[in-house]
A and B are shown apart, each in its own frame.
Chain A
Amino acid sequence: MTRRTLLIAAPYLWLLVLFFAPFLIVLKISLSDAALAIPPYTPTIKDGVGAMFAELDFENFVFLTEDDLYWKAYFSSFRIALVSTFLTLLVGYPIAYGMAKAPDEWRATLMMLVILPFWTSFLIRVYAWMGILSNEGLLNQLLFWLGLINEPLVILNTNLAVYIGIVYTYLPFMILPIYAALDRLDPSLDEAAQDLGCTRTQAFWLVTIPLSKNGIVAGSFLVFIPALGEFVIPSLLGGSGTLMIGKVLWEEFFNNRDWPVASAVAVILLLLLIIPIVLFQRNQQKQQEAEQ
């Protein structure tokens, strides 16, 4: 083999060992039955290779369709991911726009500020939000002190807290691709639009927005995909009413110790994620082609 083929083979080997092989194992478990054993399912390799495959069935997948908890959780995750992606876009676009319009000497600093939160553990940052949003938290104390409220606002353990958490956590993933798209825009395009009779607002909607579309799409996928399977944020900030598939998955695995059902949930989640991931890839590819 030449060096070149080795170089190309490396990422595929990586995917094969660290993604495809574990996925096959999860798929196999999802087709097995739960059992009081270690590992907690049957059949295993100890039963012989032939028997192990012979006893597999789709029972767990059928179960997922019978209990409405699961499809409700999928649907609710989808909705929460969609809403929070939209909210992240609303918050992120103006920030990216401001960065792109900022004087050159400020840009590196602004970029640093966007990335800075990554320097602290994600978990600690989500815990910090608990401290801010709880009934006796900083936000309520501030609002009391300002005399704006008499009763504490109940934010923690609601969907609102989950939205806040997701928007806060994934904001950089929205800002960076949009900033990259806006930064590449020739400033004379905006001037040309004004020169041809657009007001500043019209120029923004007719030129800047369409031309940053690729950044918007990329940022939205980068937020939507991880938000869909998000587990930490809904379990720390969300309440009992917050239904998300990541949380359901965790409970199946660790509370119920029902690995086969949990694996089935994971397989379905992956299949659902493949659609937006493929769409995202196509968007990236189109963008590259357009630039050539």
Chain B
Amino acid sequence: MSQTVFAPWEDPNEKPLIRFRNVTKRFGEFVAIDDLTLDIYAQEFFALLGPSGCGKTTMMRMLAGFETVTEGVIELAGQDIGQVPPNERAVNMMFQSYALFPHLSVWENIAFGLKRDKKAKPEIDARVEEMLKLVRLEKFAQRKPHQISGGQRQRVALARSLAKAPKLLLLDEPLGALDKKLRQDTQFELMDIQETTGTTFVIVTHDQEEAMTVASRVAVMDEGRVIQVATPASIYEYPNSVYVADFIGDVNIIEGHASASGTEKYKLNWVDSQAPIIATSQTSFAEGQKAHLAIRPEKIRISSEKPEDAENAMQGKVLDIAYLGNLSTYHVELPGGQVIKAQTANTRRIARRDITWEDPVWISWNATAGVMLEQ
């Protein structure tokens, strides 16, 4: 049983649904979006991820039509949408504040967009019922927004923005206002709904875990530029820069100078007190070029005995332990004062854990465990 992997971005014949072509947006002197080019394909669940002020919300508002483009072109299904007002775009948005109309019932909120299209009454009724069913709110149709819970409001907002069956749905921090537990459940619900409706979703979030969970592809942004666009797995495993590696998840960044050591293999000279680190790299580095090794804590093993087979091993002592329940992160201080984070799954009960504060330990990893980055 083989399943085709959904990856339209790898097919050169596929036409993107949305194209940003050299888009720049300035607010006075401030450059919010800087010469940005990006393709998003139909049925993608695309996440714009970045710290606040990175331009992700501006991008979304340009797609919705609330901001104009200063330079460049945004195309939706091959059409330049620069001059199309928001009410004439086949794009709907779910607002961060949900923006439910407080004077209208849940039913009327969902029907709002359909009524503007002057659809026949039975058609509107049927569509609203369908939407209520999709978000499991049939019982609350006659309530006002202030009479339902935050999670229910979030679902009304989703139903309202999906009611007109837009080509593209924009979600601005859709889960930001929910508590953690509800957020996790809702993430899966969002993915289900996206799959059922087949709508293209573009989500804006600053929560990297959320982006990784829901998205087919993630664009990591900083200061109006897209730094990397890739699937969640490749963003995590193969970040293209220290910025991305650092922004997504926990990482150790080791700075040093590269020197070749066989094909696609380098030695990283980092401190005099330690042996050079051996790491593989697809990208080539010149002799003595500055390089950063990004290595995830969970890729580093920690043991009380010196490991036999590891390509990189060094001794240190445990400085701190962050116990997260399922995982523990050990901060290991090397003799030179550098601190390396190593993470292990707590497969044993805490009483039987053999490593504790101030213990001398060995940390080790393979040459393929980390990624070498130029910047």
Of B85, B91, B116, which one neighbours A202 at CB under 8 angstroms? Answer: B116
Closest chain B residue to A210 by CB distance? B103
In Å, the complex CA distance between A256 and B8 comes to: 93
With A188-B99, A191-B99, A211-B103 as known contacts, state yes or no: A196 contacts B112, CB within 8 Å.
yes
For residue A290, CB closer than 8 A to chain B, the reply is: yes
With A189-B101, A191-B66, A191-B86 as known contacts, state yes or no: A196 contacts B116, CB within 8 Å.
yes
Scoring B residues 84 to 117 as 1 if CB is less than 8 Å from chain A, else 0, what string do you get? 0111000111011101011100000000110011
Of A195, A202, A207, which one neighbours B92 at CB under 8 angstroms? Answer: A195
Scoring A residues 205 to 220 as 1 if CB is less than 8 Å from chain B, else 0, what string do you get? 0010011010000000
Scoring A residues 189 to 204 as 1 if CB is less than 8 Å from chain B, else 0, what string do you get? 1011111111100100
Scoring A residues 13 to 27 as 1 if CB is less than 8 Å from chain B, else 0, what string do you get? 000000000000000
Closest chain A residue to B61 by CB distance? A191
Closest chain A residue to B172 by CB distance? A188
Number of interface residues of A (CB under 8 A): 18
With A188-B95, A207-B101 as known contacts, state yes or no: A193 contacts B85, CB within 8 Å.
no
A191 near B95 with CB under 8 A, answer yes
For residue A186, CB closer than 8 A to chain B, the reply is: yes
For residue B160, CB closer than 8 A to chain A, the reply is: yes
For residue B306, CB closer than 8 A to chain A, the reply is: no
With A191-B66, A191-B86 as known contacts, state yes or no: A197 contacts B116, CB within 8 Å.
yes
With A188-B97, A191-B86 as known contacts, state yes or no: A196 contacts B103, CB within 8 Å.
no
In Å, the complex CA distance between A161 and B85 comes to: 45
For residue B42, CB closer than 8 A to chain A, the reply is: no
Least Cβ–Cβ distance between A231 and chain B, in angstroms: 39
A197 near B95 with CB under 8 A, answer no
A196 near B146 with CB under 8 A, answer no
With A207-B101, A210-B103 as known contacts, state yes or no: A196 contacts B95, CB within 8 Å.
no
B103 near A195 with CB under 8 A, answer no
Closest chain A residue to B92 by CB distance? A195
In Å, the complex CA distance between A213 and B103 comes to: 10
A198 near B97 with CB under 8 A, answer no
In Å, the complex CA distance between A25 and B116 comes to: 60
B97 near A193 with CB under 8 A, answer no
Least Cβ–Cβ distance between A212 and chain B, in angstroms: 10
B116 near A195 with CB under 8 A, answer no
Closest chain B residue to A203 by CB distance? B87
In Å, the complex CA distance between A210 and B103 comes to: 7
For residue B64, CB closer than 8 A to chain A, the reply is: yes
In Å, the complex CA distance between A196 and B65 comes to: 12
For residue B56, CB closer than 8 A to chain A, the reply is: no
With A196-B164, A197-B113, A197-B117 as known contacts, state yes or no: A290 contacts B95, CB within 8 Å.
no
List A contacts of B102 (CB < 8 A).
211, 290
List B contacts of A210 (CB < 8 A).
103
Scoring B residues 60 to 93 as 1 if CB is less than 8 Å from chain A, else 0, what string do you get? 0000111000000000000000000111000111
Scoring B residues 142 to 174 as 1 if CB is less than 8 Å from chain A, else 0, what string do you get? 000010000000000000110010000000000
List A contacts of B164 (CB < 8 A).
196-197
Of B86, B101, B161, which one neighbours A194 at CB under 8 angstroms? Answer: B86
A196 near B97 with CB under 8 A, answer no
In Å, the complex CA distance between A186 and B146 comes to: 15
Of A197, A207, A213, A290, which one neighbours B87 at CB under 8 angstroms? Answer: A197
Which among B85, B91, B101 has the greatest number of chain A C-beta atoms within 10 A?
B101
Scoring A residues 52 to 92 as 1 if CB is less than 8 Å from chain B, else 0, what string do you get? 00000000000000000000000000000000000000000
With A186-B99, A207-B101 as known contacts, state yes or no: A196 contacts B85, CB within 8 Å.
no
List A contacts of B99 (CB < 8 A).
186, 188-189, 191-192
Closest chain A residue to B170 by CB distance? A195
Scoring B residues 123 to 151 as 1 if CB is less than 8 Å from chain A, else 0, what string do you get? 00000000000000000000000100000
In Å, the complex CA distance between A210 and B102 comes to: 10
List A contacts of B93 (CB < 8 A).
191-192, 195
Of A186, A188, A196, which one neighbours B160 at CB under 8 angstroms? Answer: A196
List B contacts of A198 (CB < 8 A).
87, 116
List B contacts of A207 (CB < 8 A).
101
Least Cβ–Cβ distance between A145 and chain B, in angstroms: 43
List B contacts of A202 (CB < 8 A).
116
In Å, the complex CA distance between A202 and B116 comes to: 9
In Å, the complex CA distance between A188 and B91 comes to: 16
Least Cβ–Cβ distance between A291 and chain B, in angstroms: 9
A199 near B87 with CB under 8 A, answer yes
Least Cβ–Cβ distance between A56 and chain B, in angstroms: 51
List B contacts of A189 (CB < 8 A).
99, 101
Which parts of B192-237 form the interface with A (CB within 8 Å)? none
Shortest Cβ-Cβ A-B pairs, 8 listed: A197-B116, A196-B113, A192-B99, A188-B99, A194-B86, A188-B95, A210-B103, A197-B87
A192-B99, A195-B91 known; 5 other A-B pairs, CB under 8 Å?
A: A192-B93, A192-B101, A193-B101, A194-B85, A199-B87
Binding site for B on A (CB under 8 A): 186, 188-189, 191-199, 202, 207, 210-211, 213, 290
Sample 13 A-B pairs with CB under 8 A, ordered by A number: A186-B99, A188-B95, A188-B99, A189-B101, A191-B86, A192-B99, A194-B65, A195-B87, A195-B92, A196-B112, A196-B113, A196-B116, A290-B102
Binding site for A on B (CB under 8 A): 64-66, 85-87, 91-93, 95-97, 99, 101-103, 112-113, 116-117, 146, 160-161, 164
